[in-house]
Structure 1
Amino acid sequence: MLKRTFLRRYATASLATFCLSFPLLSHAASPAMVTKGELTYGTAATFMPFEFTKNGTLTGFDIDLMTALSQKLSLKPAPMSMEFKGLIPALQGKRLDVINSAMYINPTRAEQVDFVPYLKIGSRVIVAKGNPEKITGRDLSLCGKNIAVTLGGIEESQARVDNQKCLDAKKPAITVLTFPAATDSAVAVAQKRADAEFLSTPGAVALLSEKGDTFETTGPEFEADTHIGFAVRKGDNEMKTLLETGLKEMVADGSYQQLIKKWQFPASVSIF
């Protein structure tokens, strides 16, 4: 009897010692969430066709992607809509698990967050139908013109670079008009308050499919190898690994490519 009691105690103690020797296993497999069982993500729903509101419902490629990815991870997607400029502070403040808002990956942002890339896209110059200002693309024909861009987006950076090129060439400056959303930039072009808009290639496809009688593109696609990705907190390797796992499963079962086709993106956007 004494021998059996000793063995039971020894086995229990040994098991406890074994578990304590691997204290990070469960944490690595299950990163801490804002809300247990949910994947809380921030999105600025003003960037068609990635994230936007239609008939009061949040929709777009990114929304579909996160919904499908969450299902792969047995989590409930929980979107939080906010202004684009507020996304990184909300993530850093631990109000979000991830940013899912077609965020362009650049060195400045990479100092603040870690990225999980999922697409690569280029941009186009959008003008009013008939191209009244005879703009020939992202070139010196933009000098002296009003260019509409999304505040804080890569388009604003691109337009400011182009303005400097105009100044260096001794040509009139570009007036960079910033707006909260790409849709606002399009309205400015339609109302002739802006001469052109910089817009992602998928966004241009969506805009022309709906308003082809109002807008057209001019010049070739530019910066076509720009990557966009989910953003997670700096050093949050557990969340990064979780998202990468979900993406791999979507690529493997074909659902990633199905979403690209559904939203009529060019095949070149795929990075897998």
Structure 2
Amino acid sequence: MKNSRTALFAVLAGVVLAGCSSTTEAATTETPSEFADLAASPACTELRAENPDLAGKTLTNAINPYTPGYETINPENPSEYQGFDIDLGNALGACLGFKNDYLSVGFSELIPTVASGQADWIISNLYATEERAAGGVDFISYSKVFDGILVAKDNPKNITGIDTSLCGLTVALNKGYVEVPLVEAVGPECVATGLKAPTVSLFDSSADCTQAVLAGRADAYMNDINTVNAFVAEHPDELASAETVMLDYTIGIGVPQGDHQFRDAIQAALTEVQASGLQDELAAKWKLSENAVAAPTILSVG
């Protein structure tokens, strides 16, 4: 879920957006012709007939475009985004008859942005949890979650997972990520054995977290294994992946809570995308080697 090219995207994204406000609009992306076969399928044709209100619309997708392979700024055109999630959103739009534009926000603002009506949905490598759903969205799952632990070359601190090997260490994490409470939960175990709890250092982007590890200001960083592998590929003499941890989450598409017609249409379109093999093709295109398709199930607390 990488090669040096995707790592470069992350660096360029940070350069282009540095100093910008937390919310940035981007140009509408036209539906690519590569999804014409999907759009012409009997299932998608029927879905468009069942959801005429979506036809010809442009929906706003809230994203945090700093994750290599998933969503980053196109270095050849800074007004566009690219990645697996961008393609997936365009594929779903092709199936249902709508196009996408994007609203770039801080990761912790993804759900509030949709819940407040500033955007129509989220496809941004977002782990689906009940706590997040309680913020005002329903989730439709599309991938299982494998986390990697980014560390210095040769793992000098002998980190073995989200466990007591983190005692006394500093862990760089993205604001709002599920890994924050998971690392914090290790603290009481550390204290019980006479050790210090891990220190969590919060950042706004994956690139910033990685720089903290490179600079020795953090001992580890946790994120999707494909993201971790991308940064290792960019810095093979300085970084390594200590461990791969399967978390009890799925990655999901967020839609406004209560809009069941839109939610169910996305679920049905996603089912067709997966059945056609397109999700696997997109994962291969973006070097998401650890992608594991998850059945498009709904998580709702409303």
TM range (shorter): 0.7 to 0.9
Deviations 1:24-58 (A, max 9, x none): xx99724579xx61121100112223222241342
The residue number in structure 2 matching 1:51 is 71
- For 2:216, the equivalent position in structure 1 comes to 192
Q: Which residue of 1 aligns with 2:96?
A: 73
Superposed, 1:229-268 pairs within 5 Å as 229-266=252-289
Q: Which residue of 2 aligns with 1:122?
A: 146
Q: How far off is 1:170 after superposition?
A: 2.6
Amino acid at match of 2:73: T
Equivalent AA in structure 2 for residue 114 of structure 1:
D
Check whether the contact 2:170–2:218 (CA below 8 A) recurs between aligned residues: yes
Structure 1, gaps ≥5 residues long: 1-25
Answer whether contact 2:225 2:290 (CA < 8 A) is retained: no
TM-score by length of 1: 0.82
Match of 2:236 among 169, 191, 212: 212
Structure 2: 5+ residue runs without aligned partners?
1-47, 296-302
Pairwise CA RMSD of aligned residues?
2.2
* Partner of residue 223, structure 1: 246
Report how far residue 234 of structure 1 moved: 1.1
Query: Which has the greater radius of gyration?
Result: 1
Deviation of 1:267 after TM superposition, in Å, equals 5.5
Residue type of the alignment partner of 1:39: L
How do residues 49-198 of structure 1 correspond to structure 2 at under 5 angstroms?
49-55=69-75, 56=78, 57-112=80-135, 113-198=137-222
Report Cα offsets for 1:119-144 as digits up to 9, x if no partner: 11121211011323333333222111
Q: Which secondary structure state, in structure 2, belongs to the residue aligned with residue 95 of structure 1?
A: coil
State the alpha-carbon separation in 2 of the partners of residues 196 and 118 from structure 1: 27
Identity of counterpart residues, as a percentage? 30
User: 1:164–1:32: structure 2 CA closer, same or farther, 3 Å change rule?
Assistant: farther
**Equivalent of 2:51, from 26, 29, 45?**
29
Instruction: Write the distance in 2 (CA, Å) between the matches of 1:54 and 1:214.
Output: 26
Q: State the partner residue of 2:28.
A: none
* CA distance 1:266–1:98, change in 2 (3 Å): same
Tell me which amino acid in the other structure corresponds to 1:145: L
Paired with 2:49 and 2:97, the residues of 1 have a C-alpha distance of 16
Output one character per residue of 1:54-79: Cα deviation in whole Å (capped at 9) or x when no partner.
Answer: 41342221111112221122211111
Q: 1:162 is aligned with what amino acid?
A: V
CA contact (8 A) 1:51 1:62 kept: yes
Shift of 1:153: 0.8
- 2:62 — aligned with what? 42
Distance in 2 (alpha carbons) for counterparts of 1:42 and 1:259: 20
Instruction: Go from structure 1 to structure 2 and tell me whether the alpha carbon gap of 1:258 and 1:225 turns closer, same or farther (over 3 Å shift).
Output: farther
The runs of 4+ residues in structure 1 deviating greater than 3 Å are: 30-33
Does the CA contact (< 8 Å) of 1:122 and 1:225 recur in 2?
no
* Partner SS for 1:271: coil
C-alpha separation between the residues in 2 aligned to 1:222 and 1:175?
20
Question: Shift in Å at residue 145 of structure 1?
Answer: 0.6
| Paired residues of 2:148 and 2:225 also in contact (CA < 8 A) | yes
